[in-house]
């Protein structure tokens, strides 16, 4: 007697949820390929499992791959393009989406949940159908957001739930179930976030700035400000405990530099004080350092000011200079 062959599944994923999706699917299905560019921990894990990695992520690449491999289902976990109806009609497609659909269709929903101060989000596994994140719900459950959670924390929690529930949801779809219909009248949408959207406006309330910083921790590049003409990424911060009341207020002004060893710096916001613990100078992969090792004076004002721009213009070579 031969054992029944496992259903064949193609996994598409370019973001931070894909490794956990691969782990969940490999336990129950024959994963015929992983669509993912480059080399990283996820592609290395696929290699250990014997899953071929296909680097082409264009819609045309995926369409050709589906035609060639003819999987029983396609699972999408972290992909940034809309697949056309002609492709979705060929076989079952299942998508993992981290929001309480129909609320939070679209992009960057884990970031937006923290930026907006939501108390919870959700994992939604749904059938892919025409329309943005509009298919029937195969599995959905709420995931709480703690008051100090970062986007890193939240992804860890959501990915853990994905590992636990994805295989059952895919099996449900393969059995012919298209999921529970969404109420489209309740839909909301998140727009794409770009790296430049992480610039801190120091005139905003402390809670808003704190949420922005927590929403852009790894795998994102971090919220940032300017220290003179240098880009300064704020990696870890919190509302300053027991801060005095400043009735004279210049948002972005440093008001206290810790010299006892902890190395934090207190900065005025639009309504309070933010305590900055760790920073990194520049746009690249520079290491985190205590804020006080970079910001040493209470005469410092963070943020790109008119005076900084004028200084930059004055220092720029003129046409006469060649």
Each residue's pLDDT tens digit, 77-110: 999 899 999 999 999 999 999 999 999 999 999 9
| Higher local confidence (pLDDT), 314 or 127 | 127
- Grade residue 1 by pLDDT with cuts at 50, 70 and 90: very low
> Residues 175-183: what's their mean pLDDT?
97
- pLDDT exceeds cutoff 90 at 284: no
In this model, does residue 318 exceed pLDDT 90? no
The 3-class SS string of the chain reads CCCCCCCEEEEECCCCCHHHHHHHHHCCCEEEEEECCCCCHHHHHHHHHCCCEECCCCHHHHHHHHHHHCCCEEEEECCCCCCCHHHHCCCCEEEEECCCCCCCEECCHHHHHHHCCCCEEEEEEEECCCCCCCCCEEEEEEEECCCCCCHHHHHHHHHHHHHHHHHHHHHHHHCCCCCECCCHHHCCEECCCCHHHHECCCCCCHHHHHHHHHCCCCCCCCEEEEECCEEEEEEEEEECCCCCCCCCCCCCEEEEECCCCCCCEEEECCCCEEEEEEEEECCCCCCCEEHHHCCCCCCCECCCCHHHHHHHHHHCCCHHHC
pLDDT given for residue 314 in this prediction: 81
Q: Is the pLDDT of residue 285 over 90?
A: no
Residue 319 confidence (pLDDT): 62
207-243 pLDDT, tens per residue?
999 999 999 999 999 999 999 889 999 999 999 999 9
Per-residue pLDDT reduced to its tens digit, 45-61: 999 999 999 999 999 99
On the question of pLDDT at 2 being above 50, the answer is: no
**What would the mean pLDDT of 236-264 be, rounded to a whole number?**
95
Mean pLDDT of the region 136-153: 98
């Amino acid at each position: 007697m031969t054992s029944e062959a496992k259903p064949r599944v193609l996994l598409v994923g370019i973001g931070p949820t894909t490794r956990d999706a691969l782990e969940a699917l490999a336990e129950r299905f024959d994963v015929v390929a992983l669509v993912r560019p480059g080399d990283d921990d996820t592609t290395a894990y696929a290699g250990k499992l014997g899953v071929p990695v296909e680097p082409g992520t264009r819609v045309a690449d995926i369409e050709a791959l589906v035609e060639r491999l003819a999987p029983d289902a396609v699972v999408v976990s972290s992909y940034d393009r809309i697949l056309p109806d002609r492709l979705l009609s060929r076989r079952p497609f299942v998508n993992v989406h981290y929001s309480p659909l129909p609320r939070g269709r679209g992009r960057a929903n884990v970031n937006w949940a923290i930026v907006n101060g939501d108390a919870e989000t959700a994992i939604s596994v749904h059938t892919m159908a025409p329309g943005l994140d509009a298919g029937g719900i195969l599995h959905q459950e709420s995931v709480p957001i703690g008051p100090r959670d970062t986007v890193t924390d939240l992804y860890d929690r959501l990915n853990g739930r994905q590992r636990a529930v994805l295989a059952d949801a895919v099996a449900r779809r393969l059995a012919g179930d298209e999921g529970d219909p969404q109420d489209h009248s309740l839909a909301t949408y998140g727009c794409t976030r770009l790296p430049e959207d992480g610039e801190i406006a120091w005139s905003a309330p402390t809670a808003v700035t704190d949420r922005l910083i927590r929403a852009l921790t790894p795998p994102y590049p971090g919220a940032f400000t300017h220290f003179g003409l240098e880009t300064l990424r704020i990696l870890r911060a919190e509302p300053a405990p027991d801060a005095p009341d400043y009735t004279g207020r210049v948002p972005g002004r440093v008001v206290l530099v810790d010299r006892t060893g902890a190395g934090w710096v207190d900065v005025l916001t639009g309504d309070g004080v933010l305590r900055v613990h760790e920073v990194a100078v520049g746009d690249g992969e520079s290491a985190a350092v205590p804020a006080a090792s970079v910001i040493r004076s209470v005469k410092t004002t963070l943020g790109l000011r008119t005076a900084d721009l004028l200084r930059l213009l004055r220092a720029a070579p003129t046409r006469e200079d060649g």
